[in-house]
Structure 1
Amino acid sequence: MFAFLARRLLQALIVMFVISLISFSIQDNLGDPLRELVGQSVSEAQRQELRDELGLNDPFLVQYGRFLKGAVQGDLGQSYFFKEPALEVILAKLPATLELVFGATLLIIVVSIPAGVYAAIRPHSFLTKMIMGWSILGISIPVFLTAIFGIYLFSIELGWLPSYGRGELVHVWGSWESGYLSWDGFLHLIMPCFALASIMLPLFIRLIRSEMVETLSTEYVKFAKAKGLKKTRIYFLHALKNTMLPVVTVGGVQIGTMVAYTILTETVFQWPGMGFLFLEAVNRVDTPLIVAYLIVVGAIFVVVNTLVDLIYGLINPTVRLAGGDK
């Protein structure tokens, strides 16, 4: 286990280095930050003087070396717009985004596992045909269209759910405030979480179904049936456990992907999270904030993928993490 964690830590450092290099190298293509900082009334000489003060005229390697030196100390630069450390600005918005990802993940788990298992066990039933037909439709519809349709139906026509914002928040700890602890905040979470889950949920239903069908055709499942074990025990203990191995692998990657998908969801619902902040940073050419966002999202991917490998061993103890063999 220690060897596995050490190897993954080294891989994570390499990945984060590459992410930081790519993120920092594209900032010059995003526009001139001085345009947003000083407007049009400042002379060219003053602009060049300010660029020298900010270090924007330095060679790329000098700028990146300065950035890397600060990054290893937790300093990802100063936001031009907020006049605060970029990492602090990002982390202040992180709880709102994680709330969406948590709610969407919970919806995916609660719905996809029973739906996928049922579709595998009863492949010719009417309900299975409905589930699979809906999954095809769900994969085809972009998340922002689902969000807009949800607002039209449940907010405008029916008036059941709020259409934007986080609603009433409850202080949890430090700067962390949660909408899950108040009824108004919970109502504000329903549509954004469902919209965010809608693009991943059909994928997981189809994945669980296909893996379950393959598992049910294996010899050990046939042997369990021949022994006279209860079908529920065969399906949900023996078959489902082995079905979940590839699902966990894909799930870890997709949960990280959902952090990126929150950009669309947060924009439609005006949700004050990292994704909405990122779009504002792009519009303002706030390059330190953009780079900080990309690095934080990359770090989330790395952490989630490492946790997935650890969960692998919990689901199937025969997976030897240290050696990577099964």
Structure 2
Amino acid sequence: MLLWITQRILQAIGVAFCMMVIVFFGLHAIGDPIQTLIPPEATFEDRARIIAELGLDQPIHLQFLYFVKGVLQGNLGNSYVFNEPAMDLIIERFPATLELAFCAVALSVVIGLPLGMIAGNRPDSTLSKIIMNGSILGFSLPLFWVAILLILVFGVTLGWLPSSGRGETVEVFGIRWSFLTLDGLRHIALPAFSLALFNIAMVLRLTEAGVREAKSSEYVKFARAKGLSPRRILLVHVLKNVLIPVVTVVGLDLGSTIAFSVVTETVFAWPGVGKIIIDSIAALDRPVIVSYLMLVVLLFVFINMVVDILYRVLDPRIALTEN
């Protein structure tokens, strides 16, 4: 176990370093922040002073070395636009993004898993066909269009749910959360469902395929021969094996949901990192963009490690010493 964890940590360090290289040189290739930060009427002396203050007068290899040093020290520099530590700006807003992503993933499991079990258990029934045909919508509908439609129906026409903001929050361990209050749950319902729709369809179809495959396996036939009830076979023997691929997909979806929640946050005016990232991209605010991307990379690496552990817990046949 210790050897396996050590291998995963070393792999994580390698992935993080490769991402540092890609992120740093990629951002330097797409544009010059000086063009947006310095007004055209600025004098040559002012221009040179600002460039020196930002460290952009150094050769690119030295800038990269300073960048790596800052990452190791937990300091990714100050935002060009907000003149505050870039990582502080991201961390201040990140709990809201994290909360939205976790709620969306939870919805995908709570809705997608039971519907997939129902569809896979009786694939020829009318209900199963309705569920599977409806899941196509989750893959087909554009995220921003679904978000606008939800606001129009439930926020404007019916007036059941608020369409913007985070609502009332409570502080737990120094971090404010909205899902712990009724008003917060009302505010998070629409953006979480909008963000979860694609994942619901994916979990549903993955579960349905897993149930159909598991029901024709030898261990299920043996369980039937022992006289176990269909309910026990489905909820114990079939479900445990279906969960193995579902856990893997859901774990990866969590990282993707966090990374790509920007559109949903923008449409619903959710106070996460979405708005600040869009503003930073427009202004080429490199420290803020890098801080966000590095945080997402570390989350991806951590989530993958947790998924690997859960994968082996659910299926003991997989040796912990595997590469």
User: How many pairs were matched up?
Assistant: 323
Aligned to 1:263: 262
Moved segments of 4+, more than 4 Å? none
Which whole-Å deviations, capped at 9, do the CAs of 1:34-66 have from their partners, x for residues lacking one?
A: 344332321234213321232212121110001
Matches within 5 A, 1:1-326: 1-174=1-174, 176-324=175-323
**Higher deviation after alignment, 26-35 or 244-253:** 26-35
Secondary structure of 2:261's match? helix
Partner Cα separation in structure 2 for residue 199 and residue 120 of structure 1: 19
Unaligned runs of 5+ in 1: none
Secondary structure of 2:6's match? helix
Partner Cα separation in structure 2 for residue 244 and residue 172 of structure 1: 31
Which whole-Å deviations, capped at 9, do the CAs of 1:165-214 have from their partners, x for residues lacking one?
A: 1112222232x111112222111100000001011110110011111111
CA offset at residue 135 of structure 1?
0.5
- The TM-score, its normalising length taken from structure 1, stands at 0.95
Partner Cα separation in structure 2 for residue 45 and residue 271 of structure 1: 41
Secondary structure of 2:41's match? coil
Partner Cα separation in structure 2 for residue 270 and residue 220 of structure 1: 50
Partner Cα separation in structure 1 for residue 180 and residue 225 of structure 2: 49
CA offset at residue 139 of structure 1?
0.6
Maintained 8 Å contact 2:102/2:254: no
Q: What amino acid does structure 2 have at the position aligned with 1:228? A: G
- The TM-score, its normalising length taken from structure 2, stands at 0.96
Partner Cα separation in structure 1 for residue 177 and residue 76 of structure 2: 26
Which whole-Å deviations, capped at 9, do the CAs of 1:40-94 have from their partners, x for residues lacking one?
A: 3212342133212322121211100011011011111211122221111111111
CA offset at residue 30 of structure 1?
4.1
Partner Cα separation in structure 2 for residue 43 and residue 199 of structure 1: 51
Maintained 8 Å contact 1:4/1:321: yes
Partner Cα separation in structure 2 for residue 201 and residue 181 of structure 1: 23
Unaligned runs of 5+ in 2: none
Secondary structure of 1:200's match? helix
